[in-house]
Amino acid sequence: MNFVYHVEGGDFTNAGSTSSQVKRMLKKIGVSPEIVKKTVVALYEAEVNIVAHAYRGDITVDLEEDHIKIVLDDEGPGIPDIDRAMQKGYSTASQKVREMGFGAGMGLPNIKNNSDSLNITSEVGKGTRIELINYFQ
């Protein structure tokens, strides 16, 4: 099953609504609470990243029998140095993002810690693509 969700940059009111829908879906099909939590924590951080840093983005959720694959594609400034962005404490977030309780340089490390497989590619001036996979067993 494939689902696509659209996310608007700067829309903090709806940030997390995709993660919320995916959480409900995973619970409904009986995925264990631990796997649901790690998946939606990773997704939520990534969703907030689109809202915080990009102009817009699409989240594609591919739900298979034994795993979930989530691809987050955004149009935005991109990440010049992904290795640096993966370091705890490194952040380019605005004051507004920090006021929302994010922007402490923990997002990407949190996504990594909650994904079985993670691939990040980015082009400066174009956008960022995050692919994460979590297995149900």
Partner 1 sequence: MTLKEIKDLVQGEIICGEDNLDQQIECVFASDLMSDVLTLRDVDNLLLLTGLSNLQSIRTCEMSDICYMLVVRGKAVTDEMKELAEDNDMVIIRTKFSMYKTAGILYGAGLPAVY
- What is the distance between the alpha carbons of residues 120 and 108, in angstroms, rounded to a whole number? 10
**Binding region for partner 1 (CB under 8 A) out of 1-9, 18-26, 64-72, 122-130:** 18-26
Question: How many Cβ atoms sit within 10 Å of the Cβ of residue 59?
Answer: 23
**Binding region for partner 1 (CB under 8 A) out of 76-84, 101-109, 120-128, 129-137:** 101-109
Tell me which of 48, 54, 59, 61 binds partner 1, using CB under 8 A. Answer: 48
Please answer whether residues 134 and 35 qualify as being in contact, where contact means their C-beta atoms are separated by less than 8 angstroms. yes
The reply to whether 37 sits near partner 1 by the rule CB under 8 A is: yes
Contact residues for 60 (Cβ-Cβ < 8 A; gap 6+): 2, 3, 4, 70, 71, 72, 73
Residues that bind partner 1 (CB under 8 A): 12-13, 15-16, 19-20, 23, 33, 37, 40-41, 44-45, 48, 100-102, 104, 106-107, 110, 113
